[in-house]
Amino acid sequence: MRLGLLAVLLSLVPGASPAFTALSDLNGEPVWTTKSDKFGEIRVRTLYLEAPDHLLALIQKPTSRPRWAFAGGTQASVRELLVRAGLPAEMLARMMDPARHVMQDGAFVIFPEIDDLLALAPAMRAVVYPELAKSPLNEFHRDPVFIVGETLDDWLRQSHLGERQKAALRRMVWKRGDTLVFSDLRTLLALAETPQEVQEVFRTMSRTRALIVDLSLPEKADSAALIDYWSAGFPDADTLPFLKGALQRDSVTSIDVSRLLPAMARRRLYTYPTLDQAIGGRFPDCHWTSLNFFNNSPIGYYLDTRLASGALLANYEPVDGPRRFGDVLVYVTGDSVIHSCVFVADDIVYTKNGENILAPWVLQRLSDVSAIYRATPDVQVRAFRLRSSERLRQR
């Protein structure tokens, strides 16, 4: 989304202050609690969503032959890059063997051997893969699988990849900025020994880390601030009867925060887009998700980035102070907004990371979303809040 005026507004908006957080684990799985006087005390657990088979069947599958395409490259320039990356002489000779490269669509294309890809040291990938990521010809380097969260082990915990594939994945991850990513999907396909292992490659590559968030309910005397926060200050919030009712019962000590999301956001949480949600061949993206957060019925034209940017500038105001439930957070660089999501509490946001049909609606850590979208230091995260007058009009 291109937003010239928005970039000026964003420069006026401060960041957020972290709340107290305590991290533990349950059978090796991360669990943490965080609290503040405003949103209360929340307990957070994690899970990984995988795209269902009927959606995976719709995705065009790549071949299992690895390829590196250096757009505008020449034999001399690519050799210089590989030498600078520190490839051993024997590997370099195989890579530059005329039988293993071609000129194709204006790119110098190498077809590396699987054993050479597995043998690349992390320092070598750190030089070669960012170069490959510059071109859409290398779709899995430009848009890699992001392994966010505490550890690679946790990300792989419930995966049904074959052992050879898991071992290869562990050796082939690389760093984009401070984030662990994976680009060698074709290699995993080449290592698959059964049709089931082929299917598990695509299922595993779709893994998305999501959060389950529980709100601890305080004594009745402490409930006013909680009600104000989780209703976003709107007295007609449709979640208020439930929250007030829960606060009145001694036996109800916690509730799932998903029950406190506005109705449309609540229905979509932890789900994937359906084919009937496509508008003009496009599926809901991050901006559609963020700007429709409080709407009872979605506004379809938010898929038009020009109209979505106009709505953000007209209906929202920069936040001059701490963030609160329902604020729209935007990732901006220059005059471009590259992502948006909705602030929930502490380090937790409601987000859909991309237009892709394999991207679900989830609660995620803001730090995990930032790991994906803050690829360079110039990307800033700023906040906007829905104007009260616009909220009344929507209702």
H/E stretch holding 394 reads helix 388-394
Q: How far is CA 111 from the centre of its chain?
A: 30
Candidates 111, 17, 106; CA nearest to 66 is 111
Strands of 68-71's sheet in order across: 68-71, 107-110, 101-104
Exposed, middle or buried: residue 261 (CB in 10 Å: 0-12, 13-18, 19+)? buried
Would you call 16 helix, strand, or coil by DSSP?
coil
In sequence order, the 6+-apart residues with CB closer than 8 A to the CB of 195 are none
pLDDT in tens, the chain (395 residues): 333 333 333 333 334 444 656 566 667 788 999 999 899 999 999 999 999 999 999 888 899 999 999 999 999 999 999 999 999 999 999 999 999 999 998 999 999 999 999 999 999 999 999 999 999 999 999 999 999 877 899 899 888 998 999 999 999 999 988 889 999 999 999 999 899 999 999 999 999 999 999 999 987 667 888 999 999 989 889 999 999 999 988 899 999 999 999 999 999 999 999 887 766 677 899 999 999 999 988 888 888 877 888 888 889 999 988 999 999 999 988 878 889 999 999 999 999 998 889 999 999 999 999 999 987 888 999 899 998 776 655 55
Could you give the CA distance from residue 343 to residue 394 in angstroms, rounded to a whole number?
A: 20
pLDDT at residue number 20? 56
pLDDT at residue number 304? 81
Residues 357 and 273 sit within 8 Å (Cβ to Cβ)? yes
Candidates 86, 356, 47, 320; CA nearest to 208 is 47
- Per residue in 213-228, is it b (16+ CB within 10 Å) or e — as a string? bbbebeeeeebeebbe
Could you give the CA distance from residue 160 to residue 196 in angstroms, rounded to a whole number?
A: 9
Location of structure tokens 């979505």: 308
pLDDT at residue number 6? 34
Would you call 13 helix, strand, or coil by DSSP?
coil
Could you give the CA distance from residue 325 to residue 39 in angstroms, rounded to a whole number?
A: 9
Residues 132 and 69 sit within 8 Å (Cβ to Cβ)? yes
**Helix pair 163-172, 195-205: axis angle to 10 deg:** 40
0.85 surpassed by pTM: yes
Residues 210 and 269 sit within 8 Å (Cβ to Cβ)? no
How is residue 6 written in tokens?
Answer: 């928005």
Q: Look up residue 2 and give its amino acid.
A: R
Could you give the CA distance from residue 145 to residue 208 in angstroms, rounded to a whole number?
A: 10
